[in-house]
A and B are shown apart, each in its own frame.
Chain A
Amino acid sequence: MSQWPFVIAAYVLAGVATLALALASFVQMRKAERAAEALKRR
């Protein structure tokens, strides 16, 4: 049994999950801070 497909699967899974978490956190932060800033200027 070739072991590389298992190694690649682990790296893809961890990479996608970490990237999605970081990206979602960044988007939520920007959205929330922009809303706070917009309300402050009103």
Chain B
Amino acid sequence: MHIFANPVRFLQLARPLTGWCGWIGAVLVVAGLGAGLFLTPPDYLQGETVRIMYLHVPSAWLGMAGWGGIAVASIMELVWRHPLAGIAARAVALPGAVFTGICLATGSIWGRPTWGTWWEWDGRLTSMLVLLFVYIAYIALAEAEADRGGQGRIAAIFGIVGVVNLPIIHFSVLWWRTLHQGESIGITGSSIAGSILWPLPVALVGFTLLFVSIVLMRMRAMLARQKVEARLRRMGTEP
């Protein structure tokens, strides 16, 4: 990991990876969602709304994995002072927030015909909403710190502290047995029928690759902006 702390080396890898991840991700997303919409049968209990799962599960995974990424990058920023770690954490924040929002919105749309309500203050729903607020707070904090010429340390500490919400989200369906169903997919197997389940890993991998591509694009934009600022500063001080 230390090898990629060098922005030049990172860019050599990020440039080809951005396109590859983006295009392969897009193809897999279209294939997974297309299969989920047109090839799988409706669920015997949920009916057609089960198709929302192919969007909802990947977006929930990316919302949570995104914050996990922020926490890891924040630790690297504080401990090893990697120049790219802070950039990576800030680059993940917006896509993470967007996918958390998609997760909440698609869950709400699924809930109306299935549960009979758009929203319920259930443990899983509430902890996911908290994650969205934590993302928004992180983005605001990181921007404010950058505007004041800070080194990103406060945002990094916030990134590490915020990770406490992830186990709460994960275990919420076990701790508070309210409306949200328990775990459907575990390490040992799944309670979802294979005929319905198979497009989910395709969509999951596709959305993940797309997410990586978006994060890489945002990191490249941030690095280029830093380069411009540094050059302008140098030009301003040159005699």
Which A residues are within 8 Å of any B CB, using their own CB? 1, 3-4, 6-7, 9-11, 13-14, 17-18, 21-22, 25-26, 28-29, 31-33, 35-36, 39-40
Contacts and interface: CB of A to CB of B under 8 A. Distances in A.
27 contacts: A3-B47, A3-B48, A4-B48, A6-B113, A7-B37, A7-B48, A10-B52, A10-B105, A10-B109, A13-B106, A17-B98, A17-B102, A18-B98, A21-B94, A22-B214, A25-B217, A25-B221, A28-B217, A29-B221, A33-B221, A35-B225, A36-B224, A36-B227, A36-B228, A39-B227, A39-B228, A39-B232
Contacts of A25: 95, 214, 217-218, 221
A21 B214 CA distance: 8
Contact of A35 (B18, B55, B210, B224): B224
A39 B51 CA distance: 49
B106 A32 contact: no
A34 to B, nearest CB: 8
Contact of B112 (A6, A18, A33): A6
Provide the main secondary structure of the chain B interface: helix
A1 B29 CA distance: 29
Given A25-B217, A29-B217, A39-B228, 8 more contacts: A6-B109, A10-B56, A11-B37, A29-B221, A32-B222, A36-B224, A36-B228, A39-B227
A12 to B, nearest CB: 10
A22 to B, nearest CB: 6
Interface of B: 18, 22, 29, 33, 37, 47-49, 51-52, 55-56, 59, 94-95, 98, 101-102, 105-106, 109-110, 112-113, 207, 210, 213-214, 217-218, 220-222, 224-225, 227-228, 231-232
A31 B106 CA distance: 32
Contact of B210 (A13, A18, A29, A31): A18
**3 tightest A-B CB contacts, nearest first:** A32-B224, A25-B217, A3-B48
B221 A6 contact: no
Given A6-B52, A11-B37, A14-B102, A22 B22 contact: yes
